[in-house]
Amino acid sequence: MKINFRLDGKVALVTGASYGIGFSIASGLADAGATIVFNDINQELVDKGLAAYKEAGIKAHGYVCDVTDEDGVNAMVAKIEKEVGVIDILVNNAGIIKRIPMHEMTAAQFRQVIDIDLNGPFIMAKAVIPAMIKKGGGKIINICSMMSELGRETVSAYAAAKGGLKMLTRNICSEYGEFNIQCNGLGPGYIATPQTAPLRERQADGSRHPFDSFIVAKTPAGRWLNPDELAGPAVFLASEASNAVNGHILYVDGGILAYIGKQPK
């Protein structure tokens, strides 16, 4: 039996992939042969992404689109189909987090996180599924989180959205599996990105930042993960190698969810 991880001839749309985790995932998909399409909220970010892909030697197609705007999403998908091809792989990566204690968070702030992190993937999936059915199959990868399973202070909206996204993932599997559409989730752990760099800087006395110490102690791997380490799992979920995997959340967290933590000394 030949196991096929290649994505040659496939069109992959990764939302919010101008930089960060989305960029790393898209780069991995490109290395496996996929044609990369991405969107972001404004032209400045799209231009930044196009420059980054070009520097990496990847020919990517960028579009300005707000994933919460259903009409805008439908127009973007139609344009991609016309200019690049039918979308074979959708990675719902675009998202935000607001770290605010729940009793201080406004309903409007809560709704904004839910809108982008949960309604956005619903709108995107809804837009690409008809063409996937017509073509005979497709792959949808939702970027979930450890907060799909765990709670933590100040992230009530994010945890609610990611918990909902886990169940949306399973329901897309349930509803469209018969059309050879596999919908799975990818749940990153704590990733070393420019955004988290301040949390990993050594303190003036040479000690670790308290949050850095907390994450390292909670992770069996004993370290933060690199964005590139999400590429392999994403390629697996986007390829024929995962055709029998559906409705699954693959946590790439260095083992945090399996670990109770170190015993205090």
In the three-class reduction of DSSP (H, G, I as helix; E, B as strand; rest coil), residue 182 is classed as: strand
Alpha-carbon distance 112 to 66, whole Å? 13
Which residue shows structure tokens 């999403």?
73
Write down the catalytic residue from 53, 63, 158, 251. Answer: 158
Instruction: Kindly give, in sequence order, each residue whose CB lies less than 8 Å from that of residue 222, ignoring residues fewer than 6 positions away.
Output: 216
Alpha-carbon distance 117 to 159, whole Å? 10
Closest Cα partner for 192 from 229, 235, 218? 229
SS3 content of the chain, % helix, strand, coil (to 5): 50, 15, 35
Q: Do β-strands 11-15 and 138-143 pair in parallel, antiparallel, or remain unpaired?
A: unpaired
Question: Are the C-beta atoms of residues 163 and 148 closer than 8 Å to each other?
Answer: yes
Active site residue 158: yes
Buried b (16+ CB within 10 A) or exposed e, 170-182: bebbeebeeeebb
Question: Are the C-beta atoms of residues 18 and 95 closer than 8 Å to each other?
Answer: no
Instruction: Kindly give, in sequence order, each residue whose CB lies less than 8 Å from that of residue 31, ignoring residues fewer than 6 positions away.
Output: 231, 235
Catalytic residues: 158
